[in-house]
Amino acid sequence: MYDLVLKNGKIVLSDAVLEGTIAVNDGKIVAILDSDIVPEAHQSIDVKGNYIFPGAIDTHAHLNDPGYEWREDYEHGTAAAAVGGYTTVIDMPLQNEPALTTAAIFDKKIAKVSPNAYIDYCFWGGLVPDNFEHLADLDQKGCVALKSFIGPVSPDYASLNYGQTFEAMERIQKFGGRAGFHCEDFSTIKWQEQRMKNAGRLDWQGFLDSRPLIAEMLATVDIIEIAKATGCKAHICHVSHPDVAQRIKEAQQQGYDITAETCAHYLCFSEQDVIEKGPLFKCAPPLRSKSDVDRLWDYVVDGTFSGIASDHSPCSYEEKHSEILGQKINNVFDVWGGISGIQSCVQVAFYEGCVKRGISPTVLANSMAKLPAKAFGIYGQKGDIRVGFDADFTIIDPNKEWEIKAEDLQYVNKMSAYVGLKGKGLPVYTIVRGQVIAENGKLVGLKGSGKFITKTQGE
């Protein structure tokens, strides 16, 4: 007698789609059986021919907890992730108060958030100029990677220069960690921003021109070179442009352990959306052209990307439209930068990739589960549908049509660039370690059932 059986499903692996039955005990996959075998179980779900994906992993989200719960918190952020089909989220260390830069802060953060998570979660540790002595401790505590900024960021989370990056990567290499980077060149952006302001170009085209491709390219290429020089594992966050992806691919082909992610918004929206619709579409790096969106998909298909992330970066309504922390918004440069998307990315990736572009579902099993699990050292627990792995599944009905509506969002602030988008192919079950957490757009799991995940031994 099993705890749970999933029958009549199309099981999506990274290289094949199989018809079969999945049996689960104690939260783990214990058998994958022929589809005509349906053993007894306490709970049996007829998947009705829909796709059973390995649970999707969001490699990059800002849940803002502790410290900025009025933007988002663990309860709402992980509920949204669950309804949207993610089963594990890797949460960022900044937009936390305090930012996660020491082991003592780690202890406080996990105590605060763990009672409220609906899905499993990992932490990115912080990497800032003054916490190099704490990096090994953060790794020991279970942070799966360490996050730094090359481009400008908020005053409470300083960016690294390349000298500091070199030292940090030398240190991180020693304990086998992975350093992740927001790659946009600091001086290029600062100069371009000033240039736009001096020219009175305070409109959305001015914003786009302040963050040109060259800024993302310069920082990415430099990080690749520092990774090569130090032998440190690197991860390039939220790649927005196919030319940047190509440079990463070339480094991967040379044998360097440099992983990268893109985000769902770079795979569906374009700079035209920024110009026409403004604040909700402001993010960094910015959205690119429509032809860049199409070419970026090529790097999802070929496995350059270990993750289609949300970069969920929520804020209040006022921070997009009127004021931020008491500062009035005067022009596009003052508007909060970030897209709320954690609830929409899986369905958008499925629709844009598998429905519109005819990409095999195996590509998403790879890019949203297997490769991210490997990049962040949690493969073996997460990332695949294999005996012994956690029973995490994202079950998608490929024919179900959808429209994203604000009132259906689980966020603290129910607004998103994705509102109004329509498509086909929707997560109908989100299952974490054998427990159904979301079903048909409704949250059915227990708050606090999400578990903190650390790197798999031996991975």
Per CB under 5 A, which region of 74-82, 311-319, 395-403, 437-445 contacts Zn ion?
A: 311-319
* Residue number with CB closer to Zn ion (311 or 397): 311
Q: Is the peptide bond before 98 cis (omega within 30 degrees of 0)?
A: yes
* Residue number with CB closer to Zn ion (58 or 311): 311
Q: Binding to Zn ion (CB under 5 A): which residues in 347-406?
A: none
CB atoms within 10 A of CB 198: 8
Size of the site for Zn ion (CB under 5 A): 1
Residue 284 C-beta: closest distance to Zn ion, Å? 8
Residue 219 C-beta: closest distance to Zn ion, Å? 14
* Residue number with CB closer to Zn ion (311 or 392): 311
Contact of 431 with 395, CB cutoff 8 Å: yes
Q: Is 311 an interacting residue with respect to Zn ion (CB under 5 A)?
A: yes
* Residue number with CB closer to Zn ion (188 or 313): 313
Q: Give the total residue count for the chain.
A: 459
* Residue number with CB closer to Zn ion (311 or 352): 311
State the virtual CA torsion across 305, 310, 312, 313 in degrees, nearest 10: 50
Residue 160 C-beta: closest distance to Zn ion, Å? 15
What tokens were used for 453?
């995940």
Residue 123 C-beta: closest distance to Zn ion, Å? 14
Closest to 142 (Cα-Cα) out of 452, 459, 421: 452
Residue 162 C-beta: closest distance to Zn ion, Å? 21
Q: Is 292 an interacting residue with respect to Zn ion (CB under 5 A)?
A: no
Give residue number: closest CB to Zn ion. Answer: 311
The span from the CA of 410 to the CA of 80, in Å, is 5
Name residue 10's beta-bridge partners.
Answer: 19, 51
* Residue number with CB closer to Zn ion (64 or 87): 64
* Residue number with CB closer to Zn ion (10 or 265): 265
Residue 182 C-beta: closest distance to Zn ion, Å? 7
* Residue number with CB closer to Zn ion (51 or 336): 336
Per CB under 5 A, which region of 193-201, 305-313, 342-350, 391-399 contacts Zn ion?
A: 305-313
Closest to 411 (Cα-Cα) out of 82, 100, 155: 82
Per CB under 5 A, which region of 15-23, 193-201, 310-318, 379-387 contacts Zn ion?
A: 310-318
Per CB under 5 A, which region of 15-23, 35-43, 135-143, 309-317 contacts Zn ion?
A: 309-317
Per CB under 5 A, which region of 25-33, 267-275, 307-315, 365-373 contacts Zn ion?
A: 307-315
Residue 264 C-beta: closest distance to Zn ion, Å? 13
Residue 313 C-beta: closest distance to Zn ion, Å? 6
Taking residues 239 to 278 in sequence order and writing x for each that binds Zn ion by CB under 5 A, - otherwise, the string is: ----------------------------------------
Residue 152 C-beta: closest distance to Zn ion, Å? 13
Residue 311 C-beta: closest distance to Zn ion, Å? 4
Taking CA atoms, 275 is separated from 15, 121, 271, in Å, by 39, 35, 6
* Residue number with CB closer to Zn ion (184 or 311): 311
Per CB under 5 A, which region of 29-37, 157-165, 213-221, 308-316 contacts Zn ion?
A: 308-316
Q: Is 72 an interacting residue with respect to Zn ion (CB under 5 A)?
A: no
* Residue number with CB closer to Zn ion (22 or 280): 280
Contact of 269 with 289, CB cutoff 8 Å: no
Residue 46 C-beta: closest distance to Zn ion, Å? 39
Interacting residue ranges for Zn ion, rule: CB under 5 A:
311
